[in-house]
Structure 1
Amino acid sequence: MRRRWLNGSVGLMTVIALAGCSAGAEAVDVKKAAQAQKGTASPVAERLRETIDRLRFEEVLDTAPPGSAQARALRAPVDKEATQSPRQRARLYAAAEPKPIVQQPQMDATIIELDRNGRPVSSGTVLMSPLYKDGVVVPVDRNLSTTSVRWRQWDDAGWYANKGQGSIDVVAGRENAPLDHMLNYPASVLKLMVNFGVLRLVDQGKIKLDDTFDYRPTSDSSVSLCGTATSKTVRQYMDESLTCSSNGASCALVKLLHEQNAIDPLNRTFQDLGLETLQLKGTNPATGGRWSNSITMGSLDTAKLLALVNGAPGRVWTAPNGKPVTSDAVLSASSRAFFMSKLRQQGFNDMLSTTNWCGGAYPAPGIPNAAPARWVGADGTVTVAGNKFGRDVRPCNAKAEVSFAHKTGWVNNTASDAGIVRALPGKGGRHYIIVVFSNLGTQYVDANRPDTPSGIYPFSYTEKFAQLGRAMDSYESRRAKRN
């Protein structure tokens, strides 16, 4: 039977709303943006846009509005993760006077629907920003690619000053693209790229998972992010990087990539695979730190990377050079299995899924996955890397419908979650990838968010992300049943 492909091109139902640009900012051509909408949106693309629009992300409150002392305290264009611990966040919120967000939030979201074997059958990518207040669906071809977006690098100050429009191009030659979007800094989701690069070295025989790597930073420029010297196996560093989002372990892996002269080849590999927005650039060879806005990830390319990690038979798409892209050629079966096992053990189920906050009135329930047993204590509460969530997750685990192999990330102006959802046996058969990047990080809160008890890990994101995850999972469950 011939496989039917439903692309993500947008239909005329999408409204392009152009926000007023500050003096000197480049204007977006509304006619060009409208031309990008020609065609019919895939059902999942249309549903994703409608759901994001309906949830009204612009209703969040800003705990660090422009010009405030809190905003000045959060200025950290490099190694932002190092200055924003849960304790620091709690102090910030205690002193804050939240104000309505000053403009439409930034969002970049993708869903790739998969068949039972993991092959993509349809996709939808949606952008929202001050330029596209109601959201716009990105036209995507059968190779899960688009030339319709001018991708720009994130700029912390520029998001306010330029109405969400960046100034540094991520992909060359897109000056005349009909859509224009500033990619969100990916925060800890960048660890997907790092661990992918390390597993490539394993497959090439250059290192082994059980090799001991002596992490010896030769500079103290990123010590607040990376910590000091450590000595662990590559396997252990990867486990800590992916399951509990250790920055120190991830710095060690980045330094390992530098020592193996593997950073430039990794970035070339992403380009060769057609993952043009995936760029691990600007990191410090001496420490593995210096994580800055030059590190970029788009939701579509991140979802495509996860499709390869998840595994699919045969050609998954065709690369820009005309060669077939296959899972087996990118990572070995054993490396993919290892990668997936770590993503399934994700400790931070608190954005698109909110199992760690099971049973309370807030936040809303998200994707219905179970919290991995390794993080659940005798009292049923989750503790990850010393961070206690304080809710009994056993009722939610008993009702879980899917596995969610994913990676989350946050800083004050980043919220990110990227993963693979698969129905548990007898739970409906859905299988899809979901990736969401937004600027609505820990700086932004819901008006109805309760105070966090002392000693408990604070809420990281607006609950609207959980509502988005639950709504799209329900949609995918119904689709699976129809098929």
Structure 2
Amino acid sequence: MSRKWVLGPAGFVAAAALTASCGSVNAGQVAHTQAAAGSKSKVAERLRSTLDGLRFQEVLDTAPPGSQAQARLLDDAFDKEARQTPRARTNAAGTKAAAAAEPIVQQPQIDATVIELNGKGRPVSAGTVLMSPKYKNGVVVPLDKNLSTQDVRWRQWDDKGWYANKGQGTIDVVPGREKAPLDHMLAYPASVLKLMVNFGVLRLVDRGEVKLDSTYEYKPTEISSLCGGASAKTVRTYIDESLTASSNASSCALIKLLHDHKAVDPLNKTFQDLGLTTLQLKGTNPVNGGHWGNPVTMSSLDTAKLLALVNGVPGKAWTAPNGRPVTSAVLSPASRRFFVNELKQQGFNDMLSSVNRCGGAYPAPGLPNAAPSRWIGADGTVTVAGAKFGRDVRPCNKKAEVSFAHKTGWVNNSAGDAGIVRALPGKGGRSYVIVVFSNLGTQYVDANRTATPPGVYPYTYTEKFAKLGRLMDAYEKRRAAGR
């Protein structure tokens, strides 16, 4: 399908129109953004209108302000995956907690990006949308020909500040954006940060400093509840467990491996050099790979761009801030194939996809992908790292239309899903990257949530994310068909 280049033949822009409905954006900001953008991409406006129509502000909060549950959760500044998630899962699934839930106090934070790809993996259009107490109906972010923006002041997540400052952060992620017309506090990426970790390890593999099938002895000198004790596995196994079953212990081992090779700071610099300025793996503990917290940042746009590179862009993908061309050669073809294949084996199809809950009354159907066979038992149900989902996925697998190579993440106030969608043969031809980050983690529930049967892994997110995945995929299917 042909596209009209907005900023000339060398690139494209997914541009924005900020309307009066977009929260508290003033007229000067509207004029600035419209002038910078020129026009808006169809996918950007569709993403904005879809997010707005799903009414994320109608979720319920199981740890509302002033409650004891909130006080406990806000005390956890680091290693939230280990310290918050079990409690939050119980709250999200329990009927008692749901009954005591209250409406969320303000518009939630959402940061979403779709990059549309052609058959060769080259971006042809893109859209990024932000939603927050400031932008209640969503606002489209202007993107330039390098899929970049100077129009957002990105802020680091602040657990208490989300309530105290009406969703506006105080710590800048990217310097020099004080006069940017848009201002957004990035949600903590949770386990989606493992994309950065594994990208860094595969860079070491490509340089010959690490071998996939060599055994790495993880010997932490400090034991944490997030990371656990010592282990010895091949690097390949650690990567597989990190990406497909979201193992925190294996991810800690990989982060310590990066520290052992003094590769964390160079990895962060690599992201900057690639123009992925919000991707920052900061504050982790070199002695055990733990201490994951708010200094770890990822925007949906930069995460989507990283996945586009991993997927494979022929030739120059974009020009970096230093003037150098960025290509998919940042990883070898073998590493990129391995990375994508691991993401295709994702066990937790539980946010933009809900296939693990196939056929149930709740949650709503998400992206029409199949659950990987490695997790499916003889009865057709999925079990991942001891988590049993309890629904026969075989009917949904037979109807699958796309593959979804992705990584999910969650804590009580963080939800993320980032992946590459490709149509299966004869199923519509679409190809795109979709990334969504939000503060609507496991402490937030839907009013219509059904009780989880005993022994079944409780649903992690609001079903509105699954609906978002389904609606955007239907749009992309129509786009690929030229309708």
Q: Report 1:146-295 matches (<5 A).
A: 146-220=149-223, 223-295=224-296
1:264 maps to amino acid: D
Distance 2:387 2:60 in 1: 25
Query: TM-score scaled by structure 2?
Result: 0.95
Give SS of 1:156's match.
coil
Structure 2 contact 187–438 (Cα < 8 Å) conserved: yes
3-state SS of the aligned residue for 1:44?
Answer: helix
Contact 1:191 1:250 in 2 (8 A): yes
Q: List alignment gaps of at least 5 residues for structure 2.
A: 6-11
Question: Residue 366 of structure 2: SS of its match in structure 1?
Answer: coil
Q: State the secondary structure of the residue aligned to 1:477.
A: helix
Report the CA distance shift for 1:30/1:289 in structure 2 as closer, same or farther (over 3 A): farther
Per-residue displacement from partner, 1:254-302 (whole Å, max 9, x unpaired)? 0000000000000000000000000000000011000000000000000
DSSP 3-state at the match of 2:469: helix
* Cross-structure match for 2:8: none
Task: Tell me the CA shift for residue 33 of structure 1.
Answer: 4.6
Residues 406-445 of structure 1 deviation map (CA, whole Å, 9 limit, x = unaligned):
0000000001000000000000100000000000000100
CA contact (8 A) 1:110 1:300 kept: yes
SS of the residue corresponding to residue 9 of structure 1 reads coil
Mapping of 1:378-389 within 5 angstroms?
378-389=378-389
Q: Which range is displaced more, 317-326 or 28-37?
A: 28-37
Deviation string 1:155-200 (CA, Å, 9 cap, x unpaired) is: 0000000000000000000000000000010000000000000000
Report percent identity of matched pairs.
71
Q: Deviations over 1:348-406 (max 9, x none)?
A: 00100100000011100000000000000000000000000000000000000000000
Amino acid paired to 2:39: T
Query: Does structure 2 conserve the Cα–Cα contact (< 8 Å) formed by 1:15 and 1:136?
Result: no
1:414–1:438 CA contact under 8 A, matched in 2: yes
State the shift of 1:14 in Å.
6.2
Is the Cα–Cα contact under 8 Å of residues 62 and 91 in structure 2 kept in the other structure? no
Structure 2 residue matching 1:150: 3-state secondary structure: strand
Answer yes or no: is the 8 Å Cα contact 1:37–1:137 preserved in 2. no
Q: Does 1:121 align with 2:120?
A: no
TM-score scaled by length of structure 1:
0.95
> Which residue number in structure 1 is paired with residue 308 of structure 2?
307
* Match runs of 1:69-88 below 5 Å: 69-75=68-74, 76-86=76-86
How far off its partner does 1:86 sit? 4.4
| Match in the other structure for 1:59 | 58
Which residue of structure 1 aligns with residue 411 of structure 2?
411
Distance 1:356 1:13 in 2: 38
Contact 1:430 1:477 in 2 (8 A): yes
What RMSD, in angstroms, separates the aligned Cα atoms of the two structures? 1.5
Specify every segment of 5 or more residues in structure 1 that has no aligned partner in the other structure, as ranges. 19-27
Contact 2:428/2:481, CA 8 A, preserved across alignment: yes
Contact 2:375 2:383 in 1 (8 A): yes
- Contact 1:33–1:179 (CA under 8 A) maintained in structure 2: no
Deviation at 1:3, TM superposition (A): 6.4
1:22 matched residue in structure 2: none
> In structure 2, how many angstroms separate the alpha carbons of the residues matched to 1:166 and 1:255?
29
Q: Secondary structure at the match of 2:146?
A: coil
Correspondence 1:86-165 to 2 at 5 A: 86=86, 89-90=89-90, 93=94, 95-96=96-97, 97-165=100-168
Matched, 1:15 2:14: no
Q: Which residue of 2 aligns with 1:480?
A: 480
| Aligned equivalents of 2:140, 2:399: Cα separation in 1 | 33
> 1:122-147 CA deviation, whole Å, 9 max, x = no partner?
00000000000010000000100000
> What amino acid is the match of 2:385?
A
Query: Secondary structure at the residue paired with 1:74?
Result: helix
Report the CA distance shift for 1:369/1:2 in structure 2 as closer, same or farther (over 3 A).
closer
Offset at 1:91?
A: 5.3
Preserved CA contact (<8 Å) 2:156 2:297: yes
Q: How far off is 1:40 after superposition?
A: 1.6
Q: Which amino acid aligns with 2:146?
A: N
Task: Report if the CA contact (8 A) 1:423-1:431 is conserved.
Answer: yes
Rounded Cα–Cα distance in structure 1 between residues aligned with 2:31 and 2:202:
42
**Rounded Cα–Cα distance in structure 2 between residues aligned with 1:321 and 1:32:** 28
Matched residue count: 471
1:66-85 deviations in whole A, cap 9, x for unaligned? 11011122231100000234
Q: 3-state SS of the aligned residue for 2:160?
A: helix
Aligned to 1:35: 32
Structure 2 vs 1, CA of residues 100 and 34 (structure 1 numbering), >3 Å: closer, same or farther? farther
What is the alpha-carbon distance in structure 2 between the residues aligned to residue 412 and residue 11 of structure 1? 33
Task: Name the amino acid aligned to 1:102.
Answer: V
Deviation at 1:339, TM superposition (A): 0.2
Superposed CA offset, 1:221-279 (max 9, x none): xx210011000000000000000000000000000000000000000000000000000
